[in-house]
Structures are given as structure tokens and as C-alpha cells.
Amino acid sequence: MALTTSRDSLPADRIKPATVWRRELQKATALLDFAMIVLAIAVALVVRFGSPLSAAVKGFSSVDYSMVSVLLCASWMLSLQLNQAYKPELFGIGTEEYRRIGKATFGVFGALAIIALLAKIDVARGYLAIAFPLGLVLLLVERSLVRQWIIRRRANGDYAERSLILGSPAEVRHAAEAIRRNPSAGYVTTAVAVASDPKDVFELADETSVPNRGSVKDISTAIHDVDVLIIAGQAAITARELRAIGWKLEGTPTKLALASSMTDVAGPRIHRRPVEGLPLMNVESPSYSGTKFVVKRCMDVALSGAAILVLSPVFALIAACVYFQDRGPVLFRQTRVGVNGRLFKMSKFRSMVVNAEQLRTTLTSDDPDGVLFKMRDDPRITPVGKFIRGYSLDELPQLFDVLMGHMSLVGPRPPLPDEVRRYESHVHRRLNVKPGVTGPWQVGGRSNLTWAESVQKDLYYVENWSVIGDVSILLRTIAVVFKRDGAH
């Protein structure tokens, strides 16, 4: 059987070794971080002092702010390094990268405040009030842009780790399929080790074929051209064999990764609790109350209120365009199901003809599952509606729903009562949190998602959400809106 290749199963010699691209990304990211920090500090100096060279810190000693800025920049970069913000595993996926940047930034400014207090140095508050938040925002935006660039490169097989997957046929296919669906994770299946299959090639779930190295008796030979060995399950390997493989990988550039049978459980809910001879992992149950929900509500009120004030001219312009097109209502209000099944009226700028709801019964949905009604070329959409839908401007009035507490800025898609009546029992978990103006469905494909994919993304969000994850989704939403992909 001849090997067929795709982005997910490329020959190992066509992919740059991870030891090379890891160093490249670390250096490039560090330089960009340095540039963002310098920019933030420079802006703080200019805005606060105008002529920073003549400004001085009064108190314990007299030091001009140029020297303080140099020390601050060096300390900031050191804090990022100490918080392991340059681990290659963080690039391209997850929220841990952003969390560590926040931790490093708060850490360096906390240390600065303590030192200034103990040494009785009167550092200008305005200087710190500008440098601190501006630097954090610039770092997060820069890392988000770098991430988008990495994801695009990984879609073509670049900046990915060459992976050898070991396990039973079913385990290997399951792991390879998960890798194929998530190129941003940075893995490419270049070979497998399926001892129960005598063939030299192995066919994956997407019908591509990769080399099969069979029983891994000599691990050093098997991993000579791979960056990570993924153990896909327990069926094809004993605990003793796994321990031996771990020992043999010591001192090599190849990493060892173990696939868990737990699905849709994110890192913050997993806590390692080793018992001698038994590496236990405690999994916390999802929580829907507490301090982090207070923080989420405060963020909703602050950001939605600010957005309404800033975007008020846009609200007025869209309202005028919608009204003068056909003299119909500006807003479309529809009953949706909120947190814990409570009904509320959700507001949107009207993007369809006035009698759109009556015409719906004459149309056929593109959704094969029949739960959602969506059409790529819905004839009820007006010309103005097509434009505002394309850029998600029709959803701006939902900011008022957020302010009133019916919705959150980030959350699952707000469902219709008719949709909820057709939910399977497990899908009702989507209602454990407030629906969002944006969410995993918005940044993960929008209307291009199938019903099953939409449910999977929403349930993962509901059970694993975090404040830093919400910030990440908000940043990604901006890019998605301008791309207009899946907007119909």
C-alpha cells in the first residue's frame, strides 16, 4: 500500500525538527515581548513627564526615570522568563500562555511597589498607572497575533511536533483524529506503533496512511525522527513497559505524552495528587458560583457599559439605516432561554424583513440535525441586514442585555425555547451559565459548525471556563468578526 499524505500525516523528513523551531519561536517571541514592554514604558514616560531625562525619583536616592525604566524593563522580562512564559508547549493553544503573562506582569509591579515602600522611594503613580496596564494589554495583543500566525503556519504542517502514536488500532485512530481536528495544538502524525497490525503502513480514520513501526522493542530506533511519543492508551502497553520507555527517553529531545481517557476536562480542574506507585489525578466538579463569577459579572458591567458609550454613534447610524430601508422596527426582540432555563427578551438590530418569523415555515434549514434553523442564503435577510450580519453588528444591542444581567459578554449561544425542548438531557448543561454575546461557537466556526460541534464547544466552555479564557475569546472575536468567516 502506498502512503498517502495530508497536513496531518506528513513524512517526518518534510517537517522541521521541533528542537529547531522551538528555539526560533522562543527568540522571536522574546524580542516581540521586549518591544511591547519598551513601547509601554516609553509611552508612560512621555505622557507623564514629557521630558523623561530630567525627571527624578525623590526619596532614598536621586535616580532619573530613564534608569528606573531600564531596570523595570529588565525585571519585566526576567519575570516572564521565571513564569515560563516562553515554553513552546504554550504557543498556539490554550489560555495558560495568557495567564502566565498576567502573573508575570502583576508580579513585577507588586515587587516594585514593595521595594518602593521599603526603600521609601516615591515613584510617580501616573507613570506606573500608564506603564502597567498598557504593557499588559500590548503583551496580550502581541501574543494573540503571534498565536494566529503560528496557527496559520501549523495548518500547513509548519511549527509542529512530529508524533509517533503508540496504542491499539482504535486508540491510535482516536488520537490521530483528535490531532487532525486540532492543528493549533502543534502535532502532526508522522508514524504509529501498532503491534497488533502486521502491516508496514497503518490507515488512519481519515483514510490517510502512515508508517507502522509495530512493536517498539528498540525505542531509540523508533523515535529517531520524531519529536514526541504519544501513548494513546493502556491497551497495548503495560505499566512496566511504559516506565522503561520513560527511562530510555531521558537525555533525548523526544518528549513523552500520555493520552487520558478523560475528555472535555481542562487543566484548571485537574490536580495531580501522586500516591507512591499510583499517579492519581483529582478532577474537580464544575463550579457555577463563587468569586470568579463575581469577577465575571464586574467585567461584563464594566466592558459592556464602556462599549455602549464608545459605540453610541455606531448604534445611531445602524438604527437609521435599518429604519429608512423599509420604515420598519429598528430592533428585533425574541424570547431566548437564559441561565437555569429563565426566559428573557434578547435584542438585536433587525436584519430581516418585518414578517420574517411567518416566512420561516416556508423555508428549509441547512442544518441536517434539525435543531438549529440556519440558511446560507436566507431570502428574508435585507441588504442592510446582510452587511450588519457579516460584521456581527446586528448583535450590538445585546450589550444592553449584558448590562441588565440577562446575558454575559462570553458564554454559550442563547437558544430558542423550541430548541431547548428538543435538547438531549446532557445538552441542558449549556443552561448552567448565562448565554453570551460571543463564545466558543463565535470564534470556533460560527454558522459553519454542525449542531454536534456547537454543543461540544459550548459544553466544554460551560465546564471549564475561566476569566482569562473569556479574555482570550473576546480578543479572538475581534479577528473573527473582521474575517467574516461563517457569518450568515
Q: What gap in Å lies between CA 328 and CA 341, rounded to an integer?
A: 31
pTM summary value: 0.66
Residue carrying C-alpha cell 503613580: 125
| pLDDT attached to residue 278 | 59
- Residues with Cβ < 8 Å from 177, sequence gap 6 or more? 204, 205, 206
| pLDDT attached to residue 61 | 45
What Cα–Cα distance (Å) separates residue 197 from each residue in 67, 211, 265?
A: 66, 11, 31
| pLDDT attached to residue 367 | 58
| pLDDT attached to residue 319 | 94
Specify whether the backbone of 341 is left (phi greater than 0), alpha (psi in -120 to 50) or beta.
Answer: left
What Cα–Cα distance (Å) separates residue 301 from each residue in 284, 294, 400?
A: 29, 11, 10
| pLDDT attached to residue 144 | 87
Q: What is the pLDDT along the chain (488 residues), one digit of tens a residue?
A: 444 444 444 454 556 777 788 888 999 999 999 999 999 998 988 887 775 554 444 444 445 677 788 889 999 999 999 999 999 888 888 778 888 999 999 999 888 888 877 777 677 778 788 899 999 999 998 998 898 888 888 888 788 888 899 888 888 888 888 888 888 888 888 888 888 878 888 888 888 888 888 777 666 677 778 888 888 877 777 878 888 888 888 888 888 888 876 555 555 556 565 555 556 666 656 667 778 889 999 999 999 999 999 999 999 999 999 999 888 899 999 999 999 999 999 999 998 888 777 777 666 665 555 556 666 677 788 889 888 988 889 999 999 999 999 999 999 989 999 889 888 888 888 899 999 999 988 887 666 677 777 888 888 888 888 888 888 888 888 877 776 655 55
| pLDDT attached to residue 485 | 57
| pLDDT attached to residue 161 | 87
Specify whether the backbone of 475 is left (phi greater than 0), alpha (psi in -120 to 50) or beta.
Answer: alpha
Nine-digit cell string for 165 = 502514536
160-261 is classed in which CATH architecture?
3-Layer(aba) Sandwich (3.40)
Domain boundaries, the chain: 18-154, 160-261, 291-483
Q: Between β-strands 201-203 and 209-211, what pairing exists: parallel, antiparallel or unpaired?
A: antiparallel
| pLDDT attached to residue 117 | 76
Which amino acid, 84?
Answer: Q
| pLDDT attached to residue 90 | 87
| pLDDT attached to residue 320 | 94
